[in-house]
A = this chain, B = another copy of it.
């Protein structure tokens, strides 16, 4: 199964989001439009819009009025990516050059701010204070997460708890908010809003752990960036944390990961130690744990065809042939 198939029940609406994303890039400045369009066209799975739509689908037949919200969530996500590329000084994302690489810091920072302001305008169109408060709160917590990420780089003493907090802010939060906002716009009862919020949270956690596994095991071509790029940049994800605690070479690994220079010079050896540990296996176990928790939340939701889709997504995320 491909991502695309997973989202079949909202495929038509996702195409509308795609068009809406492009329509919303209409500043008076060409270079800002070019940079933003580059970012949009670089692709991505449009997970966040998909979850807004799928969550709303429980409560609504026509999703037309959900399109602006779904678009706003993707724009919010893209705004964080373009800022991240400035912070990390990245050259490549999803196999194409970053906005930062092609246009520099000024254009990247302003493209991010412009796109986020667009997301805000789209969200404001619902005239619902509760929607905007959820979005503002999520934005603040994402910023906090960026700082946790910084404080954990090359820190060989980080444990599972620190890792989970980081991926919560990095990924789970916005997927959770996507599900929540879809339910809110569908005027779902409060406990069903909460169930979808938690479904999104656990699914987002599972998704990010899987993503961190793929960074170690997938081909460069699939990733659009070199295999092992996280650990090469001192980002210590779950397989590395496991190896740091349980590998027979953990003392050596600690030494190699603790400094940017030593880390960069020994990336092959670092990858070998991590892959030889049970770190990948352990990470798959954690993914399955979160996918199970996501599935469980679906008990609280009404029986609609879309429920089956959400079960399938949880299964897909934790499948090892991902």
Instruction: Check A124/B132 contact, CB under 8 A, given A86-B109, A109-B86, A143-B32.
Output: yes
Q: Do A143 and B113 touch across chains, with their CB atoms under 8 A apart?
A: yes
Interface assignment of A121: CB less than 8 Å from any CB of chain B: yes
Q: Is A305 an interface residue (CB 8 A)?
A: no
Pick the contact of A109: B87, B120, B129, B151 (CB < 8 A).
Answer: B87
Are B114 and A143 in contact, CB atoms less than 8 angstroms apart?
A: yes
A117 interface neighbour in B87, B129, B143, Cβ under 8 Å: B143
Q: Copy number in this complex? A: 2
Given A86-B109, A105-B86, A129-B124 contact (CB < 8 Å): yes
Q: Which residues of B contact A136 (CB under 8 A)?
A: 117-118, 120-121, 124
Asked if A106 and B146 sit within 8 Å, CB to CB, the answer is yes
A88–B151 Cα distance when bound, in Å, is 25
Do A144 and B83 touch (CB < 8 A)? Answer: no
Instruction: Tell yes or no: A139 within 8 A of B by CB.
Output: yes
Where chain A touches its partner, the secondary structure class is helix
B-facing residues in A255-288 (Cβ within 8 Å):
none
Question: Complex Cα distance A140/B144, Å?
Answer: 24
Which residues of the other chain, B, contact A151 by a CB distance below 8 angstroms?
31
A120–B142 alpha-carbon span in the complex (Å)? 15
Residues on B with beta carbons closer than 8 Å to the beta carbon of A121:
132-133, 136-137, 140
Name the contact of A140 in the complex, choosing from B114, B124, B139 (C-beta under 8 A).
B114
The 4 closest A-B pairs by CB, nearest first: A117-B139, A124-B132, A121-B136, A114-B143
Closest to A135 in B: B120
If A31-B147, A117-B143 touch, does A109 touch B133 (CB 8 Å cutoff)? no
User: Is A106 touching B147 in the complex (CB atoms < 8 A)?
Assistant: yes
Query: What are 27 sample pairs from A and B whose C-beta atoms fall under 8 A apart?
Result: A27-B140, A27-B143, A27-B144, A28-B144, A31-B147, A32-B147, A83-B113, A86-B86, A86-B105, A87-B106, A87-B109, A107-B147, A109-B109, A110-B146, A113-B116, A113-B143, A114-B143, A114-B144, A116-B139, A117-B137, A117-B139, A117-B140, A118-B136, A118-B140, A120-B120, A120-B135, A127-B127
Is there contact, CB below 8 Å, between A132 and B120?
yes
